[in-house]
Structure 1
Amino acid sequence: MDGDSVHPGVAPLSFLLGRWRGEGEGGFPTINSFKYGEELTFSHSAHKQPVIVYSQKTWKLGSGEPMHSESGYWRPKPNGSIEVVIAQSTGLVEVQKGTFDAENKVVKLQSELVGNALKVREITRVFNVVDAEMSYVVEMATNLVNLQPHLKAFLKKL
């Protein structure tokens, strides 16, 4: 997507726009560690509001069997803050707020609300883009475990 077709409110986050694909690994004290393939898509229509449409899907590396998916909307604000809503395939819903640093290409998100979750209390996400590679870390807290790393991945822009 060229810079001319991006809504001015989304322009600072235009480094996210497009499809990203790669691999990640996950773990948590209450589950076995695992590796996965992943694709993220960030899209935008300049004719609409300053909103980025987000979607994610993961699969088992060996078999290609689907694992997890989620989608939502990212709404950047002129002051460098961002509001995000994400619905996961498990039924869990996240309302997150955070900040973005357009110059360093970093987005940090913190859950304001985790809904429809029996065990999950809190989720944080940090996305970082360097050249054409994105890395991210997701941390999670449950009723039994305090906030700690859950997922990390490295993706290349397609």
Structure 2
Amino acid sequence: MNPTILPLDWLLGTWQSDEPGEGCFPTIKPFRYFETLQFSHVGQPVVNFSFNAFHADSKKPLHRECGFIRMQPGTNKVAFIVAQNSGLVEIEEGELTGQQLNLRSHAIARISFAKEPHVKEISRVFQLRADGKLEQRVSMATDTQPLMEHLRITYIRSS
């Protein structure tokens, strides 16, 4: 493993949601979902990731994200670079404190025919809890809504 990303080694592996996560936002119906996260590396100073979500009841595919996590060498500064199947591309930046990663959008781009309202801001927290579960919380702001929690889910490591 590249020494630059050693502080992120607690994320590596495959994580499965242990119970359905919850999603809500004023412009959509609340929903429940399962998700698989994969974090890996190939020796470069970057963590590769992919996230795959499925509707808890219908099992239909939902959200997909893939990208990279980079760290600024010699610091706790982190960049989270992600492409989403919805046509959103974003760069989130933040800090790693112990086994918690706090991120906030730095840049957001979207396809020209993206569904409205458009996402304007995203913040995300990954935290490895004392019980060994990984928790992810995602907040979002759009053209019409202020920043508020959108997703909350916990995972157990499956590999």
After TM superposition, the score normalised by the length of structure 1 is 0.91
SS of the aligned residue for 1:9 comes to helix
Per-residue CA distance 1:32-69 (angstroms, 9 max, x = gap): 100000001110012xx210001000001123211110
Counterpart of 2:91 (choices 91, 95, 119) is 95
Structure-2 separation of matches of 1:34 and 1:14: 31
Q: Residue type matched to 2:57 in 1?
A: G
- State the number of aligned residues: 149
CA distance in 2, matches of 1:72, 1:152: 20
Matched, 1:86 2:82: yes
Residue matched to 1:16: 11
What residue is the counterpart of 1:121 in the other structure? 120
For 1:18 and 1:71, the matched residues in 2 are separated by: 15
Q: Which moved more, 1:137-146 or 1:114-123?
A: 114-123
> Cα RMSD (Å) of the superposition?
1.1
Q: Which residue of 2 aligns with 1:3?
A: none
Residue 57 of structure 2 is aligned to residue 57 of structure 1: no
Name stretches of at least 5 consecutive residues in structure 1 with no aligned partner: 1-5
Partners of 1:30 and 1:67 in 2: CA distance = 17
Q: Quote the Cα distance in structure 1 between the aligned partners of 2:54 and 2:121.
A: 24
Which stretches of structure 1, 4 residues or more, deviate above 2 A after TM superposition? none
Secondary structure of the residue aligned to 1:10 is helix
- Distance in 1 between the 2:59 and 2:90 partners? 26
Deviation at 1:135, TM superposition (A): 0.5
Q: By how many angstroms is 1:114 displaced?
A: 1.2
Trace 1:115-154 onto structure 2 (pairs within 5 A): 115-116=109-110, 118=116, 119-130=118-129, 131-154=131-154
Counterpart amino acid of residue 41 in structure 2: H
